[in-house]
Copies of this chain bind each other. A is one copy, B any other.
Amino acid sequence: MHNIREVPLIMLGLGNVGRALLRQILAARETVTERRRVRLVPVALADVSGLLCDPAGLSDETLERALAVVSAGQLVAAVPGAQPALTLDAVLRPGTILADLTASPATLPTLHAALACGAGVVLANKLPLGRRWEEARVLFEHPNVRYEVTVGAGLPVIATLRYLLDTGDRVARIEGCLSGTLGYLCAQLEAGVPYSEAVSQARALGYTEPDPREDLGGKDVGRKALILARTAGWPLEPDAITIEALYSESLATASTEEFMKALGVHDADYRERVGAARTHGCTLRYVAEVCPTGGTVGLREVPQSSALGALRGPGNYVALYTERYAEIPLVIAGPGAGPEVTAAGVLGDILALASSGYA
């Protein structure tokens, strides 16, 4: 009944999310074509080492080889035909979709170039969206940009927010737990595990970055709060979000090793805060909250019987308070991390953009 459209795809970044996406694209090719009448054609793959590129579409053989590359930055060394120079001129054109699956602060000019030439952009990378409003603005306002997975991974948070706004609702306030890592930490503290042990465990389980301060500092959650606020229509600057770090200022400049050794200095403090919360019928959660004038991100006492208090482990939770959902919020919840669900969210964005016939 309908023709199948070919949509060229450029992928920047071949880490866990990039590889999961490539696998999903290969595995779901028939489903996608049948259900959405779109065929995604990878035309370029890039990692920090360089670029694989073929305007006619990379062969399945080449894609499989790229998938077999084990460590990041090995594309040029491991796959024949990959070039060290990263120039996308041969493939950037209207109707192409560029997916930024890196965690790099340096992709912004490439994203701007893609939009300028009529390509669409899908971001898993939060950094460009967290820049000063002047720099980030186009990413929030351009109709050909999607960034669903930057908040809640595969959970449809941004899409829901957009749908409310598109249909004339007004957002008053957004509240949520946006970090699986810090959710795990809070649950451990609640269960009586000392702070130092909980952080060490989380690190050993791979829930944190190699330097846990990346997570404990709250900047990542702050960036998600900023992305929610900007999507809601509030052009906030990064410093409008007040962030509480879960370690003391004095440990900010220590080496990772020193930091891990010094964790115990916080045990008594967090034990006390958990105990105080309990006497109020509450528990501690790392909560993000934004409204039109700014936001806060930090540890907060929430009633044990509340939805936030009932949250366990890696669960994410976002409550949208709007004109229409004023008393009881619209809630999206579920696991908000992991390469598979993140890649699925990116694929969802790519399909939404491809189906919007924007080009």
This chain: copies in complex? 2
Whether A160 lies near B156 (C-beta < 8 A) is yes
State whether B31 touches A168 (Cβ < 8 A): yes
Which residue in B36, B169, B305, B315 is a CB contact (below 8 Å) of A328?
A: B315
Which of the residues B329, B335, B344 comes within 8 Å of A334, measured between beta carbons?
Answer: B329
Residues 122-139 of chain A: 1 if any B CB is under 8 Å from the residue's CB, otherwise 0?
000000000000000000
- Give complex CA distance A357, B2 in Å: 11
Does residue A107 face the partner (Cβ distance < 8 Å to B)? no
Q: Is the CB of A156 within 8 A of B155?
A: no
Question: By the criterion CB–CB under 8 Å, are A328 and B335 in contact?
Answer: yes
User: A2-B143, A159-B159, A324-B340 are known contacts; what are 17 more A-B pairs with Cβ within 8 Å?
Assistant: A24-B167, A31-B165, A31-B166, A31-B168, A156-B156, A164-B344, A305-B305, A313-B328, A314-B328, A324-B344, A325-B335, A327-B335, A328-B335, A329-B334, A330-B333, A331-B334, A333-B333
Within 8 Å by CB of A310, from B32, B307, B314, lies B307
Residue-by-residue, is A334-359 near B (CB-CB < 8 Å gives 1, otherwise 0)? 11000011001101100100011110
Cβ B335 vs Cβ A332 within 8 A: no
Smallest CB–CB gap between A194 and chain B, Å? 26
Whether B356 pairs with A35 at a CB distance below 8 angstroms is: no
Cβ B167 vs Cβ A163 within 8 A: no
Residue pairs across A and B with Cβ atoms less than 8 A apart, 15 shown, are A1-B143, A27-B168, A28-B168, A35-B165, A36-B166, A154-B330, A167-B351, A305-B310, A315-B328, A325-B334, A327-B335, A328-B334, A330-B334, A331-B334, A356-B357
Chain B residues closer than 8 Å to A35, beta-carbon distance: 165-166
Is A310 a contact partner of B313 (Cβ separation < 8 A)?
no
Q: Is the CB of B324 within 8 A of A154?
A: yes
Chain B residues closer than 8 Å to A351, beta-carbon distance: 166-167
Interface residues contributed by chain A, number (CB under 8 Å):
52
**Residues of B with C-beta under 8 A to A313:** 328
How many Å lie between the Cα of A324 and that of B119 in the bound state? 30
- Which residues of A are at the interface with B, using a C-beta cutoff of 8 A? 1-2, 24, 27-28, 31-32, 35-37, 143, 154-156, 159-160, 163-169, 305, 307, 310, 312-315, 324-325, 327-335, 340-341, 344-345, 347-348, 351, 355-358
Which residue of chain B has its CB nearest to the CB of A352? B163
Residues of B within 8 A of A156 (CB): 156, 159-160, 163
- Which of A166, A169, A341: most chain B CB closer than 10 A? A166
A12 to chain B, nearest CB (A): 20
**Which B residue's beta carbon lies closest to that of A36?**
B166
Instruction: Verify A331–B328 contact, CB threshold 8 A.
Output: no
Distance of A168 Cα from B22 Cα, bound (Å): 13
The residue in chain B whose Cβ has the minimal distance to the Cβ of A38 is: B166
| B168-A24 in contact (CB<8A) | yes
